[in-house]
Amino acid sequence: MATTIVMPKLGMTMTEGTIEEWLKKPGDAVEQGEGIATISSDKLTSEVEAPEAGVLLNITKEVGEEVPVGEVIGFVGHEGEEVSETASTLLEEKEEKPEALSQQAAPKETVDPLMNQKQDGPNRKRRISPAARKKAKELDINIATIEGTGPKGRITRRDVERAVEQKEVAVTKEQVEETVVERPIKTSNMKGLSAMRKSIAINMQESLANTAQLTLHRKADITELIAFQKKLREEADQNNIEIKLTITVFLARAVTLSLLDHPEVNTHLIDDMLQQYEAVHLGIATSLDNGLVVPVVKHAERLPLGSLARQIQGVTEAARAGENVEMSGSTFTITNLGAHGIEYFTPILNPPESGILGVGTFMKEMELDEHEKLQTMIKLPLSLTFDHRVLDGSPAAVFLRKIVHYLENPYLLLL
């Protein structure tokens, strides 16, 4: 009997995923554990693996379609084996049955008129998923005008969204033609946002719309920190200790200690209620090929420098590999653009946090020492964005100064 392939649950909050790409087509041989499709949620992208060896018999969901967790997206079985009508439509019947029962029991005047019409022609009954029906109702779209692209002409949520897009394009075109005729702008390609990109867009827009953000800039002299880092790396190598002591690790430790010294920054403002945390849960902004995620190091205040380094390496590598890693609950975030040569920038708050630290690239500067002699200093640009509803400029500046103090006195990071 054919084995079902279902939409997996990538994270605790995931309710549906999007089919990004089918890596195999019906009829292709597959090995158990081999990737057969790429899916994405609002935070992660991952591959769906074949549950057993055999042949990909059938695909029930198309690229771009949003599928609830646990719903069947395809079948794997033996070559020549047929997927029964019952098996391939079992989930559809399960979704449609409650609605049919509800319509049977409803008063006559509330029954959908499409139910009593012929099953062919323009007024035929439409197969539509519950998610698509809900979306059509929200957007006030007549499902009779939508052509379904799902199995057996079933209307999917993506079909509804596509109908809205086409309607908006038509309206916009009509308005332009009525007002002024302009030279058309040529476009090389048009495509919709990925699930991850849409999530980032929504979060960033909400962050700017719902907070009062202000950014402070200053540099830290990390000349001694660089020497300290080199010394620790040498000690680790001599003692066969595998550890990745990056500048981000020292920054994370400095931020953690500063948050313990200034707990008013380690806060969330939710519904006019300010929640202050004793624990420090650090978000480490991590860039991916197709977006940005913020894996979280929980209880950074409990971790000495070495353990903190391993935790940061672990969560960032897992995030880049598309593995299931904690992405929520951070109380403060660090984002680093130094590798791209950026000096100062204005990071956007990661809601509902009250602060985020942006880190730039190393800068060499010549300064006079206490003996009036020129010396080369290594400076690190820092950009602190904070929510002015929670903090005023002065305490925010004191907090940033504290971070600089720890970076300029690196031995304190071990205490």
pLDDT tens-digit series, residues 250-276:
999 999 999 999 999 999 999 889 999
pTM of this structure: 0.61
pLDDT attached to residue 107:
43
Please, where in the chain does CATH 3.30.559.10 lie?
Answer: 196-414
Catalytic amino acids? 388, 392
Give the per-residue pLDDT at 185: 60
- Hey, what are 204's tokens? 């960033």
CATH for the stretch 91-177: 4.10.320.10
Spell out, as residue ranges, where the chain has pLDDT lower than 70.
12, 42-43, 84-126, 130, 150-152, 168-191
As a whole number of angstroms, the distance between CA 363 and CA 81 comes to 65
In this prediction, residue 397 carries a pLDDT of 97
Indicate the fold that domain 3-83 takes in CATH: OB fold (Dihydrolipoamide Acetyltransferase, E2P) (2.40.50)
Q: What are the residue ranges of CATH 4.10.320.10 in the chain? A: 91-177
pLDDT at 100: 41
- At 67-90, the pLDDT tens digits run 888 899 998 988 877 776 444 444
d(CA 29, CA 246): 44
CATH 2.40.50.100 intervals, the chain: 3-83
Q: Which of 70, 41, 37, 54 is nearest to 3 (CA)?
A: 54
Provide the pLDDT for residue 43.
65
pLDDT of 120 reads 43
CATH code of the domain occupying 196-414: 3.30.559.10
Is the dihedral angle over the CA atoms 173, 177, 180, 183 positive or is it negative?
Answer: positive
User: E strands within 63-128?
Assistant: 66-68, 72-77
Q: Determine the pLDDT at residue 187.
A: 59
Contact criterion met (CB below 8 Å) for 366 and 374: yes
